[in-house]
Chain A
Amino acid sequence: MAERRDYEDLQAVLKRWSEEVEKKLSKRPERKAEFVNTSGIPVNRLYTPLDNGDAGYLSEVGLPGEYPFTRGVQPTMFRGRLWTMRQYAGFATAEESNRRYRFLLGQGQTGLSVAFDLPTQIGYDSDNEMAIGEVGKVGVAIDSLRDMETLFRQIPLDKVSTSMTINAPAAILLAMYMAVAEKQGVPAHKLRGTIQNDILKEYSSRGTYIFPPRPSMRIITDIFSFCTENVPMWNTISISGYHIREAGSTAVQEVAFTLANGIAYVQAALEAGLDVDLFGPRLSFFFNAHSDFLEEIAKYRAARRLWAEIMKERFKAKNPKSLMIRFHTQTAGCTLTAQQPKNNIVRVAFQAMSAVLGGTQSLHTNSMDEALCLPSEEAVQIALRTQQMIAYETGVVDTVDPLGGSYYLENLTREIHDRAAEYIRKIDELGGAAQAIEKGFVQKEIQDSAYKYQREIESGERIVVGLNRFQVEEERPGDLLRVDPAVRTSQIERLRKLRSERDAGAVEKRLSDLKQGAQGDQNLVPLILEAVKAYATLGEICDVLREVFGEYQQVNTL
């Protein structure tokens, strides 16, 4: 009863307070007539207990480790175990990347994250004409199991978890990883890691697709099914909002389009006859940590709640692990400035802090020089140190969801949840995520947001420090990390050597088995594994699949 009277008192007090503040505005106006965050959500002057929703604490917020998981997926969060510090890295050759991984592990990094070059991501060997100019540039070039053996030399695969940013050819890289592990004597059921394997956002935002949606979804469900049986600790997919946000979406769109893609994968797996409570717990997610600090924290919390509701209500999942969004976060590359690049250290620190306060399971912090080039060793070290400072110096890890209960944060969490749910309804009406992408709806929404963001920067409405305000005359730093163009030549030489040394008959046999499997409805992963072990190259395997499945043609939404 006391509480009720308290609320009535508060309403009266708040009314008086607001009137008094309004009166003073003519003399001391606020900085803007209207405050709106990046998702277009109005931001009020003040939030109080009156802004808490009607649904009540337990159904909207609840306790960590329990449905709807708004406050986190584990009951003790970082009091138990810190997040995995996982820097995305890889460039040039397998030797060079292997050296960088061992450097990072030596610096206290706790997981690996492999960046592949574009030819690898799009299924071309380094000697393919399409690969000229791209070999080893944005990641490591992997043509065959032999490169993969070099990449993980002296790295015990039963001790590290490895995330691989690989989508269309995800099954091939996973097969190579399993083959390397086997040679190290590590059984598949002990392997921990993630393949990105999220093709839908490649069509809408990231661009490294190969096959059309239908066969792509089949490969994905084949992987779900294979891993459930054989690689049970592996995250079979990382459903990624990161690239949707980098392509220009708002925070609300990031949540909505990511979860809509998630729904499409679950649906496809159910249609393939899989059990939601067997594959559901191995779905993982990947979000962006952008610059609006509180909006980002609210975003992670809203995404957790919304996914839990979707899995429980729409898909009738029962295993609590199926209901949890476990996610990786990377700070927003698109917010880094080439101007005054050292400012990026601070920018990244705020973004990383939002991810930690949002309850991330693993984190990549960008390096200050990434708007200019590939990160140098020094810049990567500072980025990793930033995470270590948050973990060991700031104290934010000592209680669960420390900002939970903030009137504004809870309100914003609800706003993002509701607005994302509304988008998902729209996508449902269009026939689901794959259809919405085929129709160009998702791409158009993203590109409109990107254009709006750019116009706000150019009009000065949005301030980016060092870019459109507080600029200085400066020289661009020289001595940038570059990839030697000779990488391609050395990869081509390795390929030539491989092709002359391997058992050509075995390769041919495995590739023709794969072709047959692809034409039928056999699970493709064991067939790919056999081909990989016979040292068939990534390009050869993808060529077989291209022949059977065809290639995706992008929808032009401009």
Chain B
Amino acid sequence: MGKEKKIRVLAAKPGLDGHDRGVKVVASALMDAGMEVVYTGLRQTPAQIVESAIQEDVDVIAMSILSGAHDYLFPKVMELLGEKGVDDILVIGGGIIPDEDIPILKDAGIAEVFGPGTTTTEIIDYIRENVN
């Protein structure tokens, strides 16, 4: 256990949305679960998120949006990761995201989308099971 490399997560707030309660709660829970978490703060462009993820050498990007801009911003992050040739980061998202959008986001490469009511345990378990 002790020798195992800690999972590194970039907790990110893409777009202009200022709701950071969820992302901070999730980040705190991931830290308590033994992961290393880097939080970007608010108002990150997809390019900034991708850059931080590469610089911080993270295993996971966890993005949160409650403004409805996920339909543009999540796929944009995936597109930029693709352009940089990054394919080994697990990208997940959460927030107020209508069910009918989830298949579209998954097609774009978002591994999983967590809606309101998700427990932090579910997110922790998902990351542990799916991170490379």
Q: Please, how many residues of chain B have a CB less than 8 angstroms from a CB on the other chain?
A: 36
Q: How far is the CA of A342 from the CA of B53 in the complex (A)?
A: 40
Q: A119 an interface residue at 8 Å Cβ cutoff? A: yes
Q: Could you mark each residue 459-501 of chain A with 1 if its beta carbon is under 8 Å from any beta carbon of chain B, else 0?
A: 0000000010000000010101011010000000000000000
The answer on a CB contact under 8 Å between A134 and B67 is yes
Cβ of B124 to closest chain A Cβ, rounded Å: 11
Query: Would A207 and B21 be within 8 Å (CB), given that A118-B67, A451-B28, A558-B37 are in contact?
Result: no
Cβ of B42 to closest chain A Cβ, rounded Å: 5
Closest 10 CB pairs of A and B: A207-B18, A133-B72, A133-B69, A118-B16, A137-B68, A338-B116, A558-B39, A476-B99, A134-B69, A451-B28
Contacts of A132 in B (CB 8 A): 72
Contacts of A337 in B (CB 8 A): 116-117
16 A-B contacts (beta carbon < 8 Å): A121-B16, A132-B72, A133-B72, A133-B73, A138-B17, A207-B17, A248-B21, A248-B25, A371-B96, A373-B98, A451-B28, A476-B98, A480-B100, A558-B27, A558-B28, A558-B37
Contact partner, A373, options B16, B42, B72, B96, Cβ 8 Å: B96
Cβ of A452 to closest chain B Cβ, rounded Å: 10
Contacts of B27 in A (CB 8 A): 558
CB-contacts of A332-356 with B (<8 A):
334, 337-339
The answer on a CB contact under 8 Å between A119 and B117 is no
Q: How far is the CA of A457 from the CA of B121 in the complex (A)?
A: 12
Q: A297 an interface residue at 8 Å Cβ cutoff? A: no
CB-contacts of B63-112 with A (<8 A):
67-69, 71-73, 76, 96, 98-100
Contacts of A207 in B (CB 8 A): 17-20, 42-43
User: Could you list 13 further interchain pairs (A-B, Cβ under 8 angstroms) beyond the known A451-B28, A458-B121?
Assistant: A118-B16, A118-B18, A121-B16, A130-B16, A131-B16, A133-B72, A134-B15, A134-B17, A248-B21, A371-B96, A372-B96, A476-B98, A478-B100
Q: How far is the CA of A119 from the CA of B29 in the complex (A)?
A: 31
Q: How far is the CA of A135 from the CA of B100 in the complex (A)?
A: 20
Q: How far is the CA of A133 from the CA of B99 in the complex (A)?
A: 18
The answer on a CB contact under 8 Å between A556 and B41 is yes
The answer on a CB contact under 8 Å between A447 and B67 is no
Q: B52 an interface residue at 8 Å Cβ cutoff? A: no
Q: A406 an interface residue at 8 Å Cβ cutoff? A: no
Q: How far is the CA of A374 from the CA of B96 in the complex (A)?
A: 10
Contacts of B67 in A (CB 8 A): 118, 134, 137-138
The answer on a CB contact under 8 Å between A247 and B20 is yes
